[in-house]
Amino acid sequence: MNSTLKKYLKIILPILLGVFLIGYSMSKVPISELWGYFKSANYFYIALGMFCGFLSHLSRSYRWLFQLEAMGYKAKFANSFMAVFSAYLINYTIPRAGEVARASILTTYEGVPFEKGFGSIVAERFADLIMLLSIIGITLILQFDFISSFFIERFNPRNLIIYFLVACLLLTIFVLYIRKSKSGFGLKIKNFVKGLAEGAFSIFKMKKKWAFLFHTVFIWVMYVAMFYITTFSVEALGGIALGAVLIGFISATFSIAATNGGIGSYPIAIYAAFSIFGIAEAPSLAFGWIIWTSQTTLIILFGGLSLLYLPVFNRNKTVKSVDSE
């Protein structure tokens, strides 16, 4: 497969998957019924959820400044804010292109070398991964009885043990293969892991590492709060269990990687998670579309304004470095 075809497939396949999932969602609940949920939704809670989402993006923009300062660059908060929202919006067109654009914006307007800016994004992704794994761990602890009984009812416990041992064996073989591999794929994996490790250690070398860690926790608390608060906008979800909220949030978070901005996949992921708790499909899908639409509206609004205002704000730009002050 040539590189041009691979490039186009990376763009086209997520879009096609998103279209398919939208169709699947509409086959489960007619658009007229979904629209009824939108009309009857409590928009106070939707707005409050959007505000929590906005605070998380604001915090992410501010957190980035700590990383840049550690490398010797004192960027303007406004540029960091607009770069973050621009990246979110661009990711709706080409997956992962937003991260490249975000680093490029700082290169253009703040004089931060692209590789350093992109490296800082990799480092923050590592911190976010740790937070997501922590949420998964907390969910497993809080819902251990429910999750274990759910799998035991559907799978033979002996088979689960066998699957676990096989998974451990395959993982061990894979790690050994990557360590000794000199192929392009093996080197990419090794470089990726190396980048994550370097990014992780760079966090602890910051002068303001505790502020960085505070903002990292705050970002994810706001993500969960955004998700939980928005559930109150759908009356049929009143009194939803904390376990359902956490598992729905985790499922939805992973779904964003499947399609551009989670289009189509986000509501389906929430529906799949909520169905475990016996929640009806109509309010589950409606909630998924409501929260996805509200957060997407936020990103389109601020992302679009950021792309338009960036060149205006920086028309008389002056690149400043910590080292030069």
pLDDT of residue 194: 66
- Residue whose C-alpha is closest to residue 284's, from 64, 28, 98: 28
Q: How many residues does the chain have?
A: 325
User: For residue 106, is it within any domain?
Assistant: yes
- Residue whose C-alpha is closest to residue 300's, from 116, 140, 90, 19: 90
How many domains does one find in the chain? 1
User: For residue 15, is it within any domain?
Assistant: no
pLDDT of residue 81: 95
Task: List the domain range (segments joined by +) for residue 274.
Answer: 30-311
Give me the mean pLDDT over the 238-266 stretch.
87
pLDDT of residue 27: 82
Least confident of 3-7, 16-20, 226-230: 3-7
User: For residue 323, is it within any domain?
Assistant: no
Contact 301, 67 (CB under 8 A): no
Higher-pLDDT residue of 5 and 138 is 138
Using one digit for the tens of pLDDT, what is the confidence trace for 160-176? 677 778 888 888 887 77
User: What backbone torsions phi and psi does residue 36 show, to the nearest 5 degrees?
Assistant: -60, -40
Residue-averaged pLDDT of the chain = 84
User: For residue 321, is it within any domain?
Assistant: no
Going by pLDDT thresholds of 50, 70 and 90, the confidence category of residue 312 is very high
Contact 48, 290 (CB under 8 A): no
**Percent with pLDDT over 90 in the chain:** 39
Going by pLDDT thresholds of 50, 70 and 90, the confidence category of residue 119 is confident
Locate all alpha helices (DSSP H) within the chain, ordered by sequence. 3-28, 31-40, 43-70, 77-90, 97-110, 114-142, 144-154, 157-180, 184-203, 209-231, 242-255, 265-275, 281-313
Give me the mean pLDDT over the 216-224 stretch.
96
- Residue whose C-alpha is closest to residue 219's, from 92, 280, 294, 134: 134
Q: Which helix (H) or strand (E) holds 68?
A: helix 43-70
pTM of the model: 0.82
